[in-house]
Structure 1
Amino acid sequence: MIKLRKFLKPFGLSVLAVLILVLLQSLSELYLPTLMSDIVDKGVVTGDTHYIWKIGGFMLLVAAGGMVCSVTASFFSAKVASGFGKSLRRKLFAHVGDFSLHEFDKIGTASLITRTTNDITQVQQVLVMMLRMMVMAPMMCIGGLIMALSKDAKLTLVLAVSLPILIIAIVIIARSGIPLFKAMQVKLDTLNRVLRENLTGIRVIRSFNKVEHEKKRFDTANLDLTNTAIKVNKIMAAMMPIMMMVLNLTSVAIVWFGGIRISNGHMEVGDMMAFIQYAMQIMFSFIMLSMMFVMVPRASVSAARINEVLETIADIKDPTEAATTDGKKGLVEFENVSFSYPGAEMPAISDISFSMRPGEVTAVIGGTGSGKSTLINLIPRFYDVDSGRVLIDGVDVRKMKQEELREKIGFVPQMAVLFTGSIAENIRFGKEHATDEEVQHAAKIAQATEFITNMPDGYNSVIAQGGTNVSGGQKQRLSIARALVRKPEIYIFDDSFSALDFKTDAKLRAALKEETVESTVLIVAQRVSTIIDADQIIVLDNGQIAGIGKHRELLETNEVYREIVMSQLSEEEIA
């Protein structure tokens, strides 16, 4: 948690105010037993009513001042903790946004969500307690001991016996709980992952009648978390009975030995009453510490998980001195490119060399696992190549700023992703300040105008979370419109026509050809009909180029391409 203290810097004055207010509150609470002692010894015993009213009124003022300090400190501590949580979440979100796909794969999406929400909440809750108790508990403990010693030094020997017992109990319980808190957060990750998979894959689960199977899988993860939580709470629950038993036995011992000292004339009744209160304050300061020991272990685990994300350095960074392109507008070149996923035994692609020029359509085709998606992910630099170079307009993409690089690209992913909001907002995701005319034009080219105008609110119709209220083909067309509105130099379509019928596919490609006449177009497809008119077709097989050429040329000379074509088209269509 110490590493996260830098996020408290903007709230320095508020933290200082909390510490001062808590200090004043502690002083008021330490002063009250002495005033009560004076009332008993100098007022009640002597029958001085005026003195009782005088000191009693002063006690009320001191108590009221302590209450005001307490309420104000609570306000500022809550404000600091909320601001701290907000800053930390913003920093974590921004930092994760810079991750390459490799870091997402390494940490896991479910875990990143847990760390950004639950883990930060845990740290935030402990911060509120720490701001109040890290001053109050030591102050009440040390101040209480000093005041108790001032009342009767010999009677403090009772505390010399009880306090070590209390400290040993707290340490043992805390050491037992910390590993379990760590396990709880990991199991919470697992529960989140199962829940997320269940909600996003509900159609598949129902279609395969796996609802009961998923219920059992969720119950297993839920029970695992519950059992760990019960175990850790049992350990922590033992703390309060132990502390109350020690506290009550200490009170009995003080009254016993204090009574003896009063009868011997070594102590006043008021002093013994004050001593009991100071003893209670000392013991309650340890109860406060014990509460922190309950919360801090879990928060320290959460803080470590947050720090793990913040300290994870993204593989892909902007260069110190970024290069700029020379204005060739969209020339893409692969020079002997090879790439392997972390931990993979074989490279996903190896020794890939080809070029794509503005005004041309380049298509990539190949079997499942041949490296098509891997190849296109290297262009916007979602991953960095292991060897070779990917060049745009003669500049290595690793020497360009990521923002500048991706500004040149209109990317349509294989899985069409839409965001909660209107259709117009989803299309404008490609170009924030696009006019209504630009949005409508992009939708027209993407063959989306018809279904948009048939929706109740047209372009203002709301897309549900995950795009669940539109079909797969409609999702793809909106994704294509999002790329088109950007008017980039390079278009990348990653199997983005698979959900379209043949008629819509043909119309869309014809409209695209006119729209992208000055741009470089890369299409990854499974259907031969989608790429049959491409200026060059790259055939991938097991991560290597099996052939490059036009449809007719490859049909005659390339065995891999011929097998793909024969599996999809009849002899009449081929002819």
Structure 2
Amino acid sequence: MLSKLRFLLRYTNKYKWWYTGGIIFLILTIWVSVTIPEYVQQGIDSIASGRENNYDVLLRSVIAIMALAIFLMIVRTFSRILFFVPGRLIERQLKGEMFRKLASFGKDYYDNNSSGSIISRINNDINGVRMITGFGLLQIVNIAFSLSVTPFKMWSMSPSLTLYTIIPIVIVFIIVRFGMAFMVRNTRLRMESLQSLSGRIISFLSGNGVIKSYNIHQWAEDKVEEENVKLFGFTMKISWIRSFVMPLISSMEQMLKIVILFAGGLLVIEGEFTIGELTEFIAYAALLTHPISGLGWVLTV
């Protein structure tokens, strides 16, 4: 594990200023995201009160929301660029180093390793490094700040309602955690199976003359079919768990809204909450869904 981290740090350290800028813009993104619901609350409460002198409050809230929304689009775009570009640059560097390394090997290495196997391993491993140094680091920073700021805002509004919200989040997170672990494990097996299939196909194509000479077409087809069935099996397992986990993640926000609408609605009836505050709380809960699903992915890497 430590050797893998040292390997990643050797490349990411070169782009530390990119990542630093990405973290700054990501913090701004999270700050704007948790600020917009406050103005939504002010606007809704000014409408609910129905007083004429609340027109200025409503107008200020609408203008503030529009300005923050535009600012949010800008900072979110830059936060993605500053994380994803280094990942692509590291990918390019690794491919260049891998090519030079492979060019230095002798004939014995290529006799023991098929071309399809080498190509498949290079693509899978380097794509994995790109995902970790780009999307992975973005998710880690986003989770760290989102799961600190957003729950604090919710707790400051209503500790009891926050506890009600945590229950479905914990249940969904546990399911997603195990589902993602199963999917990642089968994805690795699928990559190995694809690597084996690619190696066989390239070997059979390059040795097509031998297959024709010995009339072993059926044997070659059976071998390819065997690898193809294994690949299909792993793909179906991934599709099965994805068809269960992904809808669960996408519907988590709706489940939270139902819980908050029921528990928070009682607070509104009792006069402890306003309609605007309930809307603000629902907006905060919606901001938790993506970090929670991202946390399930990060913990399986």
> TM tier, shorter chain?
0.7 to 0.9
1:278 matched to 2:278? The reply is: no
Deviations along 1:127-166, one digit per CA (max 9) or x if unpaired, are 3322432222332222111111122222112123122212
Shift of 1:121: 1.9
Partners of 1:46 and 1:222 lie apart in 2 by 67
Secondary structure of the residue that 1:221 maps to in structure 2?
Answer: helix
> TM-score when scaled to structure 1?
0.48
State the shift of 1:98 in Å.
Answer: 4.3
Partner of 2:9: 5
Identify the match of residue 26 of structure 1 among 16, 26, 30.
Answer: 30
Aligned to 1:80: 86
Q: Which residue pairs with 1:358 in the alignment?
A: none
Contact 1:187/1:221 (<8 A) preserved: yes
RMSD between aligned residues: 2.4
Q: Tell me the residue number matched to 1:35.
A: 39
2:246 counterpart (225, 240, 243): 240
CA contact (8 A) 2:85 2:134 kept: no
Once residues 254 and 205 of structure 1 are traced to their aligned partners in structure 2, the CA distance between those partners, rounded to angstroms, is 67
Contact 2:139 2:294 in 1 (8 A): yes
d(CA) in 2 for partners of 1:206, 1:49: 85
- Equivalent-residue separation in structure 2 for 1:160 and 1:52 (angstroms): 32
Deviation at 1:291, TM superposition (A): 4.8
Deviation at 1:246, TM superposition (A): 4.4
Listed one character per residue, the Cα deviations across residues 387-412 of structure 1 (whole Å, up to 9, x for unaligned) are xxxxxxxxxxxxxxxxxxxxxxxxxx
Contact 1:85 1:121 in 2 (8 A): yes
Partner residue, 1:566: none
AA matched with 1:58: A
Give the fraction of aligned pairs with identical amino acids, expressed as a percent.
Answer: 17
Which of 211, 223, 228 aligns to 2:229? It is 223
Q: Tell me which amino acid in the other structure corresponds to 1:258.
A: G
In structure 2, the partner of 1:16 is 20
How far apart, CA to CA, are the structure 1 residues paired with 2:165 and 2:113?
A: 49
- Which one of the candidate residues 30, 55, 79 is aligned to 1:49? 55
Distance 1:77 1:243 in 2: 24
Paired residues for 1:504-543 under 5 Å: none
Residue 134 of structure 2 aligns with which residue? 128
In the superposition, the TM-score normalised over structure 2's length comes to: 0.87
Match of 1:198 among 189, 195, 204: 204
> Displacement of 1:181 after TM fit?
2.7
Contact 2:154 2:284 in 1 (8 A): yes
Determine the structure 2 residue equivalent to 1:325.
none
1:141 corresponds to which residue?
147
The verdict on how the C-alpha distance between 1:213 and 1:105 changes in structure 2, with shifts beyond 3 A counting, is: closer
Structure 1 segment 122-521 matched on structure 2, within 5 A: 122-292=128-298, 297=301
Matched, 1:61 2:67: yes
Equivalent residue letter for 2:35: Y
Q: Which amino acid aligns with 1:79?
A: V
Structure with the bigger percentage of strand: 1
Q: Which deviations, in whole Å up to 9, do the C-alpha atoms of 1:518-538 show, x marking residues without a partner?
A: xxxxxxxxxxxxxxxxxxxxx
Distance 1:123 1:234, change over 3 A: farther
> Quick one: distance in 2 between partners of 1:127 and 1:194?
32
Separation in 2 of the partners of 1:182 and 1:234?
Answer: 16
Partner of 1:364 in structure 2?
Answer: none
Q: Decide whether aligned partners of structure 1 residues 284 and 82 sit closer, same or farther in structure 2, where only a CA change above 3 A counts.
A: closer
CA offsets 1:154-203 (integer angstroms, 9 cap, x no match): 21121231222122212222332343233222212211111111221123
Residues of 1 paired with 2:87 and 2:181: CA distance? 26
CA distance in 1, matches of 2:67, 2:136: 27
Give the aligned residue type for 2:222.
K
Contact 2:42 2:57 in 1 (8 A): no
Whether the aligned pair in 1 keeps the contact of 2:34 and 2:150 (CA below 8 Å) is yes
- Unaligned 5+ residue runs, structure 2? none
1:129–1:292 contact (8 Å) kept in structure 2? no
TM-superposed CA distance for 1:219, in Å, is 2.5
Deviations 1:328-382 (A, max 9, x none): xxxxxxxxxxxxxxxxxxxxxxxxxxxxxxxxxxxxxxxxxxxxxxxxxxxxxxx
Change (3 A) 1:255 1:64: same
Deviation, 1:278, is 0.7
- 1: CA distance between counterparts of 2:247 and 2:45? 34
- Structure exhibiting the larger radius of gyration computed from Cα positions: 1
Contact 1:110–1:196 under 8 Å retained in 2: yes
Contact 1:126 1:292 in 2 (8 A): no
TM-superposed deviation, 1:114: 1.6
* 1:241-286 deviation line (CA, Å, top 9, x unaligned): 3334544332212111111111111111111101011111112321
Give, in whole Å, the separation in 1 of the partners of 2:249 and 2:85: 31
Deviation at 1:38, TM superposition (A): 1.3
Looking at structure 1, the residues matched to 32 and 212 of structure 2 have their Cα atoms a distance apart, in angstroms, of: 64
> What secondary structure, in the 3-state scheme, does the structure 1 residue paired with 2:272 have?
coil
In 2, Cα distance between equivalents of 1:203 and 1:20: 60
Letter in 2 for 1:7: Y
- Asked whether the 8 Å contact 1:17–1:76 carries over to 2, the reply is yes
Instruction: Count matched residues.
Output: 295
State how far apart, in whole Å, the 2-side matches of 1:121 and 1:21 are.
25
Cα offset, 1:29, TM superposition: 0.9
